Structure formats: structure tokens, C-alpha cells
Structure 1
Amino acid sequence: MLSRWKRDNNKNRGTSAVRATGLRPRQTLSVRNKDFAKQELPKPVKYKEKVTGTPDHGLWDFFKNKQLLQTPMDEQSHGRSWTIGELRSRDWDSLHQLWWICVKERNRLATEKIERNRIRAGYGDVENEGRDKTVQETMKAILDTLAERHQAYQEAFALAQQDPEIDLAKTDGPQYTQVPYDALEEDETIQDAPQEPIEPIIEVRPSDSTSAEPEARPKDKTNYA
């Protein structure tokens, strides 16, 4: 019978750091070719290192005053929502800025709500929902204001299509051309108005014998016989 092969093909067999066994004869490792004199050892990382972030980072906008959570008193200290009457006088840029301010405020409130549930704070949910409701009312007022303006634009566009003095197909200049005024042209409103018959005015002049006061009644003669 053939004897069992007991030798393995591991070239590093017998090299152990625990038993302090070195290399076998004619055994070389790649570390011998390195220049240890010029090699810089890696510096260990500190156990506790203070992390410094960017003070003006955009993510700080999700936290009011750079605080993780607000107190219930600070959360409920806010004003009322904007009304449609107040937003009608604002231009497009102001409404655009106010819309994104509301979006950022809702993101901040949602971030606080998630963090409050994570740490199980047990407070601030009612104040958070009240503030979020006020912001949503402002956003709805902005949408209603823009809907009113769009409706007014559509009505004005329909009237402009029927006006002969407005040319909507013209794009290289003013679309409105004013018709020159003709002083001899009769007003259309006078022609369309119904003409009522004119009654003659008779002037009655009082005569000389007619008095403005009523005639005095003659007194009865008294007989003293």
C-alpha cells in the first residue's frame, strides 16, 4: 500500500508570531524588500475627537435656532394665518417667497415630530399640530389668491378677443391701438338710448288783477236800527 501524503503545500507553514518561529531556510517575504528607514508609521485615531460642522450649512434650516426640539411654549407662540384679502395686494415674487417659507416651516415641524417620537419625549405634539395647521391655512390662501388671478386673467383675455382695438396676434409691439377721436362722430350711446317725446312748456304769467294772496271776504253790514 502507498503511504498517505502528510505534507501540505503551505509555504508559510511554521511561521508563527505566537511561538516565535521564524522563516525556514531559503524562505523570503515581501516585507524584507521595504525601506523601513523612510517608511512613516500611521498615526492612531484619537479615541474622542470633537466633530465640527459647517455653521452656515443648509440643513440647519430644518432646526429653529439650531436646536433639536422646541419647548411647547415656543412652539405655540405664533401668529395667525394670512387671509386672501391680505394676499391680493402682494406681487408674484412675494407670494413665491411666502410659499417656500411655509414649505420650510412644515419640513421643520415634521423633523421635530419624528425626533420627538424617536426619543419618546411625550410632549409638544398638540402645539406642533396647531402650528402646522396655521401654516397649511396660509398655503391654502395663497392657492386661492392665485386661482382668483387666473380666473380674472381668463375673463380679461376673453374680453380682449372681442375688442377691435386689441390685436393679440401682435408680439413685436403694443397690442392695444387706440382709435383716434372724431369730434363729428355721433356717440353710440345717444343713438341707442330711447328718445322720449318732449312736452311743450307753457308759462302762465299772473295778471295785474290777480293777487298772490286769496281775496278777502267783504264784511257783512251791521244794522244798528
Structure 2
Amino acid sequence: MERFSVLRRLVAEGLGSALLLAVVVGSGIMGERLAGENVAIALLGNTLATGAALVVLIWVFGPISGAHFNPAVTLVAALRRDMPLRLASVYPLAQIAGAVLGVWVAHAMFGEQILQVSTKLRAGGSQAFSEAVATFGLVATILGAARFRPDSTPMAVGLYITAAYWFTASTSFANPAVTIARSLSDTFAGIAPSSAPAFILAQIVGALIAAGVFGWLLRAEKTS
């Protein structure tokens, strides 16, 4: 892997996060407008666009920054000593700033008011639990693919998120930066700010559990 400066890594994380959120929010708006009030069709369009974009974005930005786009993934990388703590401490700033910018870009593309606050409640224990499960699965996918088939990681992540949109009650945000940014969009993909803290806490818990479980599971036994 080529070496890139800290600035380039941060720009890659910010730009990748911005493009990801432009896809998430933009495809949600498009899906809702075209689906004729059929929420399932709108969600399907949102799902396919997000999963496909993730594959491409990880391919493009992975060699530069690792393509985390996610503070929970960065936290796990830091705990596993896969990246310096000082760098890991600033990645989330770039990810959150980029994600918010991506939301604003989506609003601008669809003629929406740029500055918004979501009113879409996603409350309840089942929603938070879903986020813990979704993030556990995401981290498991990343660690497992990176351990055994690193070249397949972009595809594995995209496929997992595509599936998780549908098997989790929360539609799998699985990302604190995404959660914060989506609280600033009162559209199909939004989440009310009052619902965001429970999501973020659950995401961190799910990521930490996955880091512990797969840190043990993927450790090969020494042979004599």
C-alpha cells in the first residue's frame, strides 16, 4: 500500500463520507418521489444505490485512507493498533464534516432547503438493538474479509449493507457519522436528533463487541 500524507487521508475520508451521504440521502429523496407512496419501493431504491456506492467508494478511497467513512470502524482500527491513535482521533472529524456536506449536496441537487432538521422519529429499544446488531455485522464483515480475502472487502461491505437495510428494523445506519448527518435531513433517510444518541451508543457497543469477538475468533492457534 502506498503511503499518503495525513492531509490526503483526511481529505479522502471527508470526500468519501460526503459522496456516501449524497447517495444515501439523494437516493432516498428520488425513491420517495418516484415510488408513489410505496415505501418498500422507495427503500429498495435507497438500498441498491447505497450498497453499490459503498463498493465503488471503498475501491476508490481504500488505498488512500482505508475508506472507513465511519467513526466506529476507526475506533476498532485504533483498538487493534491498525492505525496510530493520533490519526484515529482526527478521522471522525473528517468523516462527520464530510457526511454533513454530503447531506447538503443531496438537498441542493433535489431543490430541497439546504439546512434542515429531521422530524423522523426512530425510537425504541428494538431500533437501538438493531443498530448494535447492524454495526456488529459490519465490523465482522470488515475484519473477516480483511483477514481472509482482503481484495473482496469492498464487495463484502456493499453486500452486507444492502442486506442489513432489510433485515434490521432500523435500516442499518451502522455509523455514527451517518447518524449525525442524517439528523440534518428531514427527508426519507432522516432521523430525528432525539433518536440519534441511542443509535450512536448502540453502534459503538456493537462495534466493540465485534472487535472483541473477532479479535479472538480470527486469532490462529500456534502449531508446535
TM-score between both structures, scaled by the size of structure 1 = 0.22
Structure whose alpha-carbon radius of gyration is higher: 1
TM-score between both structures, scaled by the size of structure 2 = 0.22
Q: Which structure shows the higher helix fraction? A: 2
Higher relative contact order (CA 8 A, sep 6+): 2
